[in-house]
Amino acid sequence: MIDIFADMHIHIGRTESGRPVKITGAQSLTLAEILIEASEHKGMGLIGIIDCHSPEVLAEIERGVSLGRYQELEDGGIQYKDTVLLCGSEIEIYDNKCRGPIHVLAFMPTIANMKQFSNWLSKRVTNIHLSSQRLYETGINLQQEVKKLGGLFIPAHIFTPHKSLYGKGVKSSLTEVFDERLIDAVELGLSSDTSMASHISELNHYPFLTNSDAHSLGKIGREYNKLLLKHASFHEFSLALTNSQGRRITANYGMNPQLGKYYQTACEKCGHLKEQDETECKACNSQKFTKGVSVRLKELSDQDVSPIKRPPYVHQVPLQMIPGIGPKTIEKLKQAFGTEMNILHHVKEEELLQLLRPQTAQLVIKARNGEMQVKAGGGGTYGKVQV
């Protein structure tokens, strides 16, 4: 068994031909560049690209396999150097049972399965080439199709105020929209962590995942999971989600929830963070506020202590967010120590001191251990790391 770092929510911005997939994704976020970044720079052993339903993306993957650039594994997944890609799709559900749109992730074991799923989706979305398309189908029918194809079904960033399960999708329970038996895991999102989500009893049934939802190469790995697997593959990942045969999630690594864009309630118009008992924004007089994840979780909370023993959740600050560490410094660190995962997990302080000023090296250690002070974000604005 080996430890493998996994980020299972990465978007594609453009195809090889330049066709947009995720409109808000960076143009540099192509299949080839994602695999290079994840494998050679970030140190991710397992990644999920969640726009693989796009026909041009599928064609690129197939072409890479035929040319020997990638290898399709017998137990599911596409191998590139030290990284395995799982073919995934992010879909938006908004049927007559939803109070608001819900984003979910579906992962398929093989290219052939994803092609079948793409064909099924194409009859139920407006544009199969784009990411996160609204599905004109019920949530339960989607779940059943995913399961029929041998796939995994995972609600995404479940507390985000916009387009998530608990944000606006349901009033109080996932059973309002989904079959609880057909959910394999839930993704927490940037503004929550294990301790916060563990106050909701219906989530006791599911493993928690922490993923980046990367819209640029630099954001890959800003949140990730550590898995104990025999090797990286779809089948091994499936075993880890069910804690089977020694495979399991051993840790979640994520930013302090206060660094997320939606931790606190804020004015929809100007972003002013709402103060207690404030009914009208003091900055612009608007009466519309975006409810923060921390507030929504308190509304949903129905247990003080979860009976489930979960993996540790480590509040880790990405290198890119550490004050005093810019692109040139990160490149210097990677040239000396390899991947960002190696820098964040294994490089000793005395080794960092050979390249960095003492104050900066100490910040890296604090970021690694979750010891940095932060200022909470909200209303679409990220929180800030404070020195």
Residue of higher predicted confidence among 343 and 9: 9
Report yes or no: 197 and 188 within 8 Å, Cβ to Cβ: yes
Mean pLDDT of the chain: 92
Is residue 329 domain-shared with residue 223, that is, in the same domain? no
The answer as to whether 195 is a domain residue is: yes
pLDDT at 262: 83
The answer as to whether 184 is a domain residue is: yes
pLDDT band per the 50, 70, 90 thresholds, residue 96? confident
pLDDT band per the 50, 70, 90 thresholds, residue 220? very high
Is residue 361 domain-shared with residue 217, that is, in the same domain? no
- Among residues 257, 283, 301, the one where a domain terminates is 257
Distance CA(354)–CA(365), nearest Å, equals: 14
Which residues, 6+ apart, have CB-to-CB distance to 150 below 8 Å?
A: 108, 109, 113
Is residue 214 domain-shared with residue 328, that is, in the same domain? no
Distance CA(13)–CA(376), nearest Å, equals: 29
Length of the chain: 387
Q: Per-residue pLDDT for 348 more than 80?
A: yes
Which residues, 6+ apart, have CB-to-CB distance to 241 below 8 Å?
A: 152, 184, 185, 207, 249
> Residue 337: which domain range?
319-369
Q: Per-residue pLDDT for 77 more than 70?
A: yes
Is residue 220 domain-shared with residue 332, that is, in the same domain? no
pLDDT at 257: 84
Highest mean pLDDT among 55-69, 277-291, 309-323, 331-345: 55-69
Report yes or no: 370 and 314 within 8 Å, Cβ to Cβ: yes
Q: What tokens were used for 204? A: 């006791």
Q: What tokens were used for 110? A: 């093989």
- Among residues 211, 236, 257, the one where a domain terminates is 257
The answer as to whether 36 is a domain residue is: yes
- Among residues 229, 257, 285, the one where a domain terminates is 257
pLDDT at 387: 66
Burial of 304 (C-beta count, 10 Å sphere; 0-12/13-18/19+): exposed
Is residue 349 domain-shared with residue 250, that is, in the same domain? no
CA 85 to chain centre: 14
Is residue 252 domain-shared with residue 350, that is, in the same domain? no
The answer as to whether 130 is a domain residue is: yes
Residue of higher predicted confidence among 231 and 191: 231
Report yes or no: 52 and 131 within 8 Å, Cβ to Cβ: no
Query: What's the CATH number where 202 sits?
Result: 3.20.20.140
pLDDT at 381: 75
What percentage of the chain exceeds 70 in pLDDT? Answer: 100
How many folded domains does the chain comprise? Answer: 2
Is the pTM value of this prediction over 0.85? yes
The answer as to whether 311 is a domain residue is: no
DSSP class of 342:
H
The answer as to whether 285 is a domain residue is: no
Distance CA(269)–CA(290), nearest Å, equals: 9
Q: Per-residue pLDDT for 140 more than 70?
A: yes
